[in-house]
Structures are given as structure tokens and as C-alpha cells.
Amino acid sequence: MRRLEKELIRINRFVAMSGVCSRRKADLLIKEGKVSVNNKTIYEVGVKVSAEDVVCFNGKQIFPEKKRYFLLNKPSGYITTTNDEKGRKTVMTLIKDACKERIVPVGRLDKETTGLLLFTNDGILAKKMMHPKHKVKKVYDVCLNRNMLDIEIEAIRHGIVLEDGVVHVDKIEYINNSRQNIRIKIHIGKNRIVRRIFEFFNYKVLKLDRVEYASLTKKKLSIGKWRVLTKGELIVLHRNN
């Protein structure tokens, strides 16, 4: 059996780590009696197992998957979800050949938003990357329908009040002295927050591109392409999060 951490872990996490499904779905499968440990069917999601235990799903032994990490430069026109009932294009089609393990996107990008999107089967890291307390950095390049005013830039720097509260950005500046092209750095993760910041001043966002995510950048990554994270990048991500 592949090596797992030495301490005991909850059975729902083990099932999720094997790539069968998400941890929430694993809870349901366990309660339905589809998971066994050492030839004994279990129904309690709180049961813990070790590396020496034989865990089976539907009678077939399962093993924890190798952790996988991929970075995609998402193009416009794809929604960030693992599946879509309406048949729309999802980001999963862009990365379907990356590995055999079940990976999912970390966080979301709007359908028309482009840029960096992380995929992994490491649920612990994914949860940390999305938790507000870790203040993960995100940098976006924004193209507006008209030039922005300096007074509005200053207002954003000092904080503006949207319908769900006060919004503070880490940094905002013009790109190459173009008042129509703005670079904004944030760590907050509110829904559609970048678009809503500019819509507050009645601007229309023509293009929105995430150019940095945590310590990751788009360097040498073409639009629509993906790559495996380097060992150095993983060390930084785990250390900082």
C-alpha cells in the first residue's frame, strides 16, 4: 500500500484522497455502506484509519493518490466548475489530460476572466489558499471602457464601501501610464470583487486578467496552456500558507 502519513486520519478524508470523490460526497457513500475497512463495512464518518488498513470502495481496494499541482492560464469563455448541467465549457476540459488523479480548481475565475488558476488534489493546501486569514495575494490587469480619474484611484486606495462592506486593496496603479489600463493587487476573495470595484464608479470592465496568484506568475505560460508546479514553487506555497 502506498505510504500515508503515520498518524490516523478520518475515513472520509482517506476516500477523498483516493480520488473517488470529494470529502462531502465521501460522507454520503460511507453512510450508504459502500466503504469497508479490513473487510468490515462501516457507516460512521468519524472512523479513523492508518496506512496499514485495507480500505475498499464498492469492494475494490483504494489508495491515497499522489499529490498533483497544475497551473493553468485560463482563456475567456470557460466557467470554473468541475461540471455544468447546462453543457457550457468548463476549465476541466482544458486540463483533462494533465493526470489520472481527480484534481479540482482552487477558487474561481468568472467565465470571461482570464489568467492564473491553480488545480490540485491537495485539499489541505486548497483550503488554506482560499481561507481569508492567509491573505493570499492576487494581482489583476484590468482594461476599462474609458480613462479613469486620479481622484477615483485615490478613493480606491483609501477604501470604498460596497453593498457587502468596506473594500481595501493592497495596491492600484496605471499600467504604462494608461488611464484605461489598471493593475490592482488584492488579497480579499469576495465574489466578483474586482469587477464590482470599477462598476462602483460606473466603468465597464472590458478585460480582466489574473497575472499573479500567491507566488505564482504567468511567465512562459501561454493562454489556454497548463504546466506542473515546480518543487520550489510548492515549497513557497506550503510555507506561506
pLDDT digits (tens, 9 = 90+) for 95-151: 999 998 889 999 999 999 999 999 998 888 898 899 888 889 999 999 999 999 999
166: which 3 cell numbers?
A: 468596506
pLDDT at 4: 46
- Which of the four pLDDT bands, split at 50, 70 and 90, describes residue 29? very high
Per DSSP, the three-state class of 196 is helix
Q: What is the dihedral of CA 124, 128, 129, 134, to 10 degrees?
A: -160
The stretch 156-179 carries a mean pLDDT of 95
Which domains does the chain possess? 9-61 (3.10.290.10), 69-132+216-240 (3.30.70.580), 137-213 (3.30.2350.10)
What residues form DSSP beta bridges with 186?
A: 138
Average pLDDT, the chain: 92
pTM: predicted TM-score of the whole model, two decimal places: 0.79
Decide: 103 and 70 in contact? Cβ < 8 Å: yes
The stretch 30-47 carries a mean pLDDT of 94
Give percent above pLDDT 70 in the chain. Answer: 97
pLDDT at 6: 55
Is residue 110 among the annotated active site residues?
yes
Catalytic residue among 110, 150, 164, 209: 110
CA distance 15 to 199: 43
Q: Say which DSSP state 79 is in.
A: B
